[in-house]
């Protein structure tokens, strides 16, 4: 394909609204539409009115498409990202705590500095370099205190883990050699160690999407999580095999929340959000019988 220079000029908010109307979108309040375009951006909102297009080549909308409907989808996705981040925080903090506890008790206070505990030496050194950078960036009094007081190149593992990113935690767990330690950490979450490693890698991607305010609800993921086979019992049946969309991620988060916060209200909040608007759940690969599946039933503690 021969590339050509981009020559489209920037447009005003009023011109953007006029273009949407020209393509068949119903805009009942032009001033309101201009306001949201000013504070959200036409290009960002474009991802949310894409499902309403009848013809992507001409960008003509289906009859009856309203600006409010596209905005509602954007608002839903924003609330969904915040809810997902809420669960991710709880699960990430828990996995950090378990990684710290089992590493320290099985391999010592500075286990994170022991290359003999790594599957791959090259990955170990890259992870250690990232760890050093994250510690240097950390604006925590306890980190500075430990660095001044002790001679080791990095503070103890229970301090370092508090400033580690989920991505680095995922990489360190994935490169951990002692199977006893890997299994001890995974056992807390009732899954196989390979499954936990895959989940942490996938959840890192999800967290980055949410943290950068990117579209979540109908995204196809390149990195998909490994699905459990028979541990824990019944969990495998809750997933949608072969899916590359959000449904399986939500099942992981529900299971994780049931483990780390058994009295949580996250399930109820999620179901309330899903019912709040006429959202096409098939865009997230929700199976037709999802509400009857065990993972979606309210728990009694």
Cα–Cα separations (whole angstroms), residue 40 to 20, 35, 43, 46, 100 = 16, 9, 9, 10, 41
State mean pLDDT over 211-223: 93
Question: Mean of the per-residue pLDDT values for the chain?
Answer: 92
**Residue 34: CB atoms within 10 Å:** 17
The confidence score (pLDDT) of residue 56 equals 86
**216 touches 130 (CB < 8 A):** no
State mean pLDDT over 86-92: 97
User: What's the burial of 234, exposed, middle or buried (CB within 10 Å: 0-12/13-18/19+)?
Assistant: exposed
Residues 6+ apart with CB under 8 A from 125: 115
Whether 230 shows a pLDDT value over 90: the answer reads no
CA dihedral for 31, 68, 80, 265, sign (positive or negative): positive
Whether 143 shows a pLDDT value over 70: the answer reads no
Cα–Cα separations (whole angstroms), residue 11 to 19, 34, 70, 222 = 10, 12, 20, 34
CA within 13 Å, CB half, 108: 9
Nearest CA among 260, 205, 202 for reference residue 226: 202
Residues 6+ apart with CB under 8 A from 13: 33, 34, 37, 38
State mean pLDDT over 163-187: 96
The percent of residues above 70 in pLDDT, for the chain, comes to 94
- For residues 195 and 135, the model is more confident at 195
Strand partners, 66: 26
DSSP letter (8 states) at residue 161: G
Asked whether the whole model's pTM tops 0.95, one would answer: no
- pLDDT-based confidence at 276, cuts 50/70/90? confident
Whether 83 shows a pLDDT value over 70: the answer reads yes
Judged by DSSP in three states, 35 sits in: helix
- For residues 52 and 154, the model is more confident at 52
> CA 17, CA 229: separation in Å to the nearest integer?
50
Q: How many separate helices (H) and strands (E) can be counted in the chain?
A: 12, 2
Residue 153 corresponds to which tokens in the numbers above?
Answer: 């190149």
The confidence score (pLDDT) of residue 146 equals 55
Query: Cis omega (within 30 of 0) on the bond before 232?
Result: yes
């Amino acid at each position: 394909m021969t590339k050509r220079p981009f020559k489209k000029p920037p447009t005003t908010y009023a011109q953007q609204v006029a273009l949407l109307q020209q393509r068949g979108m119903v805009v009942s309040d032009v001033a309101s539409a201009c306001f949201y375009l000013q504070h959200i951006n036409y290009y960002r909102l474009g991802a949310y009115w894409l499902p309403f297009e009848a013809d992507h080549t001409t960008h003509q909308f289906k009859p009856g498409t309203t600006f409010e409907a596209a905005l509602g989808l954007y608002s839903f996705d924003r609330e969904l990202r915040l809810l997902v981040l809420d669960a991710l925080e709880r699960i990430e903090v828990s996995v950090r705590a378990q990684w710290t506890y089992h590493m320290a008790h099985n391999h010592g206070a500075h286990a994170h500095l022991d290359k003999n505990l790594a599957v791959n030496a090259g990955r170990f050194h890259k992870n250690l370099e990232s760890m050093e950078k994250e510690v240097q960036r950390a604006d925590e009094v306890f980190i500075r205190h430990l660095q001044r007081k002790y001679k080791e190149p990095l503070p103890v593992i229970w301090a370092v883990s508090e400033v580690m990113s989920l991505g680095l935690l995922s990489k360190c767990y994935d490169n951990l050699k002692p199977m006893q330690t890997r299994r001890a950490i995974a056992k807390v979450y009732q899954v196989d160690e390979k499954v936990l490693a895959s989940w942490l890698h996938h959840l890192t991607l999800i967290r980055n999407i949410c943290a950068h305010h990117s579209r979540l609800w109908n995204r196809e993921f390149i990195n998909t999580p490994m699905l459990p086979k028979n541990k824990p019992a019944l969990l495998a049946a809750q997933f949608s095999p072969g899916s590359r969309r959000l449904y399986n991620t939500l099942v992981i988060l529900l299971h994780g929340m049931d483990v780390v916060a058994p009295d949580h209200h996250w399930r109820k909040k999620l179901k309330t959000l899903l019912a709040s608007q006429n959202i096409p759940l098939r865009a997230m690969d929700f199976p037709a019988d999802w509400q009857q599946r065990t993972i979606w039933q309210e728990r009694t503690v």
